[in-house]
A and B are shown apart, each in its own frame.
Chain A
Amino acid sequence: MSPESRKKVTYETGIQGEEIAENYLRSLGFRLIESRHREKTGEIDLIMEDGTTVVFVEVKARFSMQANGEGLRAVTPAKQRRIARTAMLYLMKQGWLRRDIRFDVVEINQHGIVHVPNAFQPGGIRF
């Protein structure tokens, strides 16, 4: 497979995963605000609302034969910081700096869906 087509497959896996995750979270009563939100610091897969709490969701889709939890571990501290910074910019633009927020990770693999609410607390992220 050429590098270009591999990129494309990865992207499609991502889109597919996000759809599955979105539907799953909707079924839990979450409300979608925006998907694939882009800032200069990166992208957030899903921004949803759980009650009054703004939830930033990182989706990890792994359809190949990989062990459970592989996707969760892929959200490294560096990745967490990038997501947090992006979320911060988003919140600033919305004027939501004092709302309750949360970071969830959803992993989708061949066995099903693993949802980790409050997966990480990035703490003092400042600009």
Chain B
Amino acid sequence: MNEMMAHILAFGVSGVSGFPVQVEVFSTGGMPGMEVIGLPDASVRESRERVNAAILNSGKEMPPRRITINLAPADTKKEGPGFDLPIAVGLLAANRQIHIIPSIDLSKTVFFGELSLDGRIQPVRGALAMAISASEYGYTDIILPAGNAMEVACIQGMNIYPVCHLKEVIGHLEGTLPIRPQKQMDYEELKRHRTVAVDMSQVKGQEGARRALEVAAAGGHNMLMIGAPGSGKTMLARCLPGILPPLSFQESLETTRIFSIAGKIAPGSGLMVERPFCAPHHSASVASLIGGGMNAAPGEVSLSHNGVLFLDELPEFSRGALEALRQPLEDGVVTVSRVRNQACYQSSFMMIAGMNPCPCGYYGSRQRECRCTPQEIRRYLDRVSGPLLDRIDIQVEVDSVPVAEIRSSAPAESSAAVAARVEKARILQMDRYAGSGFFCNAQLDNNAIRKYCSMTQEAENLLHLAVEKMSLSMRAYHRVIKVARTLADLSGSDRIGMAEIAEAIQFRELDQKYWRNGTL
């Protein structure tokens, strides 16, 4: 009679996925006290004080009994305050303070949420990751903080019960005041509200750069802009979010999941629609870019997953930081390893970089004389290594626009017009790669290139000639094909022709001009 037990399902977060945690509460007579075991961290151990106060403030009692709370599996670290709610429910059930109605199946219901002392339930980090994993494990019901409700509103096939106070949870479990499951939200609904920050119509002249930006956006390619200070590199980059298509549902789930784990979702906001645009300062450390810290948190490359990572003043970044980008650029994933934790994050981003051609900034400019020595220029350019350059598909020179052109009133093409063409090209790609795990041309691997990028005989001949003449690496060769594929998608043609290959090769010429030849 004296020993009582309760089992409640909770979820923990590890990397980008959640794992189920069984909260076992054992209540017995004997020396009164409460113990939490199963590798809890400080915030989990402190939860007993929050839970105690929250239960009393919800009109229930905490009888003086000997209570052991076990978080199984006992060999995995449990972090964060999200276990407050399941522990509270477990305590109430084990002490027979509540009588759960039989229609609620506790073996299929997941609880998470942080408790305030007054019993209110606060949002937690990683709600989306936990909810997705819960649905993958086959659990059907989730009781979670109302502050996280929007974030998980698009998940299909689960009953989601948002709650604000422990009293509501008690009312629901006892059947006195059942909560209605949240209505599932349609992702298309969210997509309708978009705003553009910087419009392309504000960019005067720069025809070459505009075209390059459009191609980069259409295929998700990396891009490097070289030009004098004030020539508009940063402004061009800022136009990018406005011409990129909104995230698809699948992409949004991936990206929002990472933001959710990093705790970067504004409370009350839902799945992300806009592609992320991360612009870390050039003083950024390797760990902040790639991810790291004690619990292997995601870095900028993962936060810009399915979006844009903008690196302004590329040569000013530390060598280590730049070289660390090589692996995520190639594989689209990073594995962050720390002694205690290891996490694998997706990081398939478009890298957009801006740089000056030399320390003074005016080498090759029409506007002003460069006053750097060849050695200085060489040293400056060499900070960007060959292997990194090799991974940049599109290189473009951006020179200052003459005053006459700036003052001309002829409006440039708007973002909306460019975005329409980009979206058309993207839809072609999505259809072509449906079910293969790719979203855009830039993500293709070598096998996929062979499969999807057929070209005419003349195009192939031209490409082989160029590879020999420019001594392109095998990687560069594949990247030229991918850019050509995007160009073909933009013009709506099925096969890659000579014109596309020629333009794609032209996008690689700066590499030759600045880094390889002997004019300096």
Interface residues of A (CB under 8 A from B): 53, 84, 87-88, 91, 97-103, 118, 121-125
Contact = CB atoms under 8 A, between A and B. Distances in A.
Contact of B31 (A53, A118, A125): A125
B320 interface: no
B374 interface: no
Nearest to A53: B64
A124 B37 CA distance: 13
Which of A88, A91, A100, A102 gathers most chain B CB within 10 Å?
A: A100
A101 B33 CA distance: 11
Contact of A103 (B28, B32, B35, B65): B32
Interface of B: 2, 28-35, 63-65
Which of A99, A121, A122 gathers most chain B CB within 10 Å?
A: A121
B31 A124 contact: yes
Nearest to B62: A118
Nearest to B28: A98
B2 A100 contact: yes
Contact of B35 (A87, A88, A124): A124
A94 to B, nearest CB: 13
A63 B65 CA distance: 33
Contacts of B65: 100
A98 B30 contact: yes
Nearest to A126: B31
B2 A98 contact: yes
B2 A102 contact: no
10 contacts: A98-B2, A98-B29, A98-B30, A100-B63, A101-B30, A103-B32, A103-B64, A121-B34, A122-B31, A122-B33
B52 to A, nearest CB: 10
A99 B29 contact: yes
A118 to B, nearest CB: 4
A125 B31 CA distance: 7
Contacts of B31: 84, 87-88, 101, 121-125
A53 B33 CA distance: 15
Contacts of B34: 121, 123
The 9 closest A-B pairs by CB, nearest first: A123-B33, A121-B32, A100-B29, A118-B64, A102-B64, A121-B33, A98-B29, A99-B29, A125-B31
A118 B32 CA distance: 9
B35 A101 contact: no
Given A118-B64, A121-B64, A101 B32 contact: yes
Contacts of A124: 31, 33, 35
Contacts of B32: 101-103, 118, 121-123
B117 to A, nearest CB: 18
A97 B65 CA distance: 12
Given A91-B30, A99-B29, 7 more contacts: A53-B64, A84-B31, A87-B31, A97-B30, A103-B32, A121-B31, A125-B31
Nearest to A117: B64
Contacts of B63: 100
A100 B63 CA distance: 10
A10 B35 CA distance: 38
A77 B310 CA distance: 57
B364 to A, nearest CB: 74
A101 B64 CA distance: 7
A101 B32 CA distance: 7
B62 to A, nearest CB: 8
